[in-house]
Structure 1
Amino acid sequence: MIKLRGHHIFCLLGYRGMGYSEEYAENMTKIQITLRTQPDTLIQIIKGPDDLCAKFPEGQPYHCEDKGIYVRDSEILKRLRLTFSDVLPWREVERRIRVEILPSDIATICETCSWRSFGYCEEGVERVIESKGLKKVDKM
């Protein structure tokens, strides 16, 4: 089972192999590949640092505990009709995205995210809406 916080659901949609460090990117790539190739993998929604935060590099500002991140987590979970401690397959998360989220929602929900400017998350939402799933990541 993979433990995820709310905003990392959207981060995984837009993930393209980049991260805060090589170790962070390797961890995120492994999780993204698992969810892409095994969509019945169970995820547990948690409050606070999750399996991605676990590899956040030392020596960089640790934003995983910032108040704004918790607000973003809550907003995404509310829109997906999820709550903390929910356990469900990734396939169901994608179904909820198809029903509840538009690509344009990223601009509002993730307004302060430094990665938003790449446009990858909007593309990721579009892929899920079109039932294409997560984009294949070559880097590992």
Structure 2
Amino acid sequence: MIHLRGHHLFCLLGYRGMGYSPEYVRNMTKIHQMLRNNPKTWIKIVNGPDHLCDKFPLTEEYHCENPNIYDRDAAILAKMNLEIGQVLKWEEIESRISTHIASSDIQVVCETCTWRSLGVCEEGIDEIHQGKGLREIH
């Protein structure tokens, strides 16, 4: 079972193999591809640092505990009608994204995210709407 916080549900959609450090990228790629290849993987929604935060580099400012990150998590979970502690399969998360999320939501709920300007999260949401699932990362 993979533990994920609210905003990382969107980060996985926009993930294109970039990250904060080589170790972070390896970890995120592993989790991303696991979900891509097995959408029946169980996910537990957690409050705060998750399995992606586990590999955040010690050389960077650790933002995983910042209040604005918790606010972003809460906003995304509310839009998707998800709760802390809930356990569901990744394919169910994709289904909720298709039902409850528009790509334009990124501009609002992820307004302060430094990765937002790349536009990859909107692409990821659009691809979920098209039934494509997560992209393969090379």
Tell me the TM-score normalised to structure 2 length: 0.99
> 3-state DSSP class of the match of 2:44?
strand
Paired residues for 1:1-140 under 5 Å = 1-138=1-138
> 3-state DSSP class of the match of 1:48?
coil
Structure 2: gaps spanning 5 or more residues: none
AA aligned opposite 2:83: T
Identity across aligned pairs (percent)?
56
AA aligned opposite 1:125: I
| Count of aligned pairs | 138
Shift of 1:131: 0.6
Q: 1:131, 1:59 → 2: CA distance?
A: 38
Q: 1:46, 1:105 → 2: CA distance?
A: 21
CA deviation string 1:102-130 (max 9, x = no partner): 00100011000000010000000000011
AA aligned opposite 1:126: D
> 3-state DSSP class of the match of 1:63?
coil
Q: 2:121, 2:32 → 1: CA distance?
A: 14
Q: 2:112, 2:48 → 1: CA distance?
A: 18
Q: 2:111, 2:82 → 1: CA distance?
A: 21
> 3-state DSSP class of the match of 1:54?
helix
Structure 1: gaps spanning 5 or more residues: none
Tell me the TM-score normalised to structure 1 length: 0.98
Shift of 1:59: 1.6
AA aligned opposite 1:55: K
Q: CA RMSD in A?
A: 0.3
Moved over 2 A (4+): none
